[in-house]
Homo-oligomer: A and B are copies of this chain.
Amino acid sequence: MRVTLRDVARRLNLSDATVSRVLNGRDDPFISEATRRRVKAVAGEMGYRPNRTARALVTGRTHLISLWMLDLYSPFYAQVVYHVAAQLRPLPYQMLVTLTDRDPRSPSEMRDLASWEVDGILAHENAPFLNAFREANPSFRPPIVAMGSFSCPPEEIDRVGIDLYSGTVEAVRHLVARGGRRIAYLVNDRSNFPDKHRHAAYHAVLGAAGLPPESIVTSDQSRGGARVTVRDYVRDHGCPDALFCHNDDMAIGAYLGLRDQGIRIPDDVALVGCDGIEDTEWLECPLSTLAQPLEQMCALAGEFLQRRIDDPNAPRQQAMLQPTLVIRESSRETADREPVPPVLREEAAVGDRR
């Protein structure tokens, strides 16, 4: 049987309370140095370890933080887990990782999901789930910080957003400025669900530039899927001269599909991805990408959460982070392409949304 606080107390002929006070380390000045020392020694010797379940029951604090992830497979999501874990490392919190679904689940499943008493929740890119969840569990109001880029964050929730709209405007403008006339957008079926901003920004810039939009639609977000889709598409429809991809996995897939068709990057087509995963850097022709500041996002979300835990009534915390357009070989100016007419550059100036 595991040794309890009471065992330690009895062995020392002390009360539970005294032992508890010592072990809780709060520098309670009403404990004699001698007692403190004795308790610590004996507790250590007996191999006492506090039972956090019991402690949590009485204090109402579990020191558990839940990370709600939409997905875990892509390196992009894995990076989020990594950064959150690193962020929590020195703090007295353990990290619970939960895979929420893209689609809200049934109320009972959601209830289970929330059943663990956590001190706070970090929710990445799952606004729809979050909304459904809160609706189904109105009494469930632990501290939540939403993070990432998504469309409809619940009202009144702390949030660290990433402004993919402006970033996409910059990325697509870059493609326009580079001289693209046929600038396509590679999306998967449902990518307008978690995040419409990229979609909206792409259309806004093209519209302003007087260029016709062109979407290439894949059925999933996988690299392999994008590869096949793009390969077939360019075979059947010819090749655009620039391609903005909804995310980096799809961009890598597109890259492969294009090469499968013998199309040169960036000579025949410029490629820009989104998210900033490391893999884009290691291709033969490194991929330009709209990089999300994940580390900063996680750090800030951690701070927000901590503050919210400490003071549930603090004012709503909000931040919007800017992604960085990283221009690499895949969308560099090429010598044999004629420069963009200046007027087109002007037209591409799109006002910021809202």
Contacts and interface: CB of A to CB of B under 8 A. Distances in A.
A162 interface: no
In this complex, the interface size class of chain A, counting residues with CB under 8 Å from chain B, is 35 or more
B89 A99 contact: yes
Given A57-B57, A282-B279, A114 B49 contact: yes
Contacts of A333: none
A50 B279 contact: no
A223 B282 contact: yes
Please tell me how many copies of the chain the complex holds: 2
A141 to B, nearest CB: 9
Interface stretch (A74-82, A125-133, A313-321, A342-350): A74-82
Interface in A75-122: 75, 78, 81-82, 85-86, 89, 92, 94-99, 111-112, 114-117
Chief secondary structure at chain A's binding surface = mixed
A137 B283 contact: no
Contacts of A238: none
A288 B297 CA distance: 36
A306 interface: no
A112 B115 CA distance: 23
Given A47-B138, A49-B139, A138-B47, A85 B99 contact: yes
A51 interface: yes
Given A116-B94, A223-B282, A284-B284, A78 B72 contact: yes
**Nearest 3 interchain pairs by C-beta:** A78-B78, A284-B284, A47-B139
Interface of A: 2-3, 47, 49-54, 56-57, 62, 64, 72-73, 75, 78, 81-82, 85-86, 89, 92, 94-99, 111-112, 114-117, 137-140, 223, 252, 255-256, 259, 278-279, 282-284
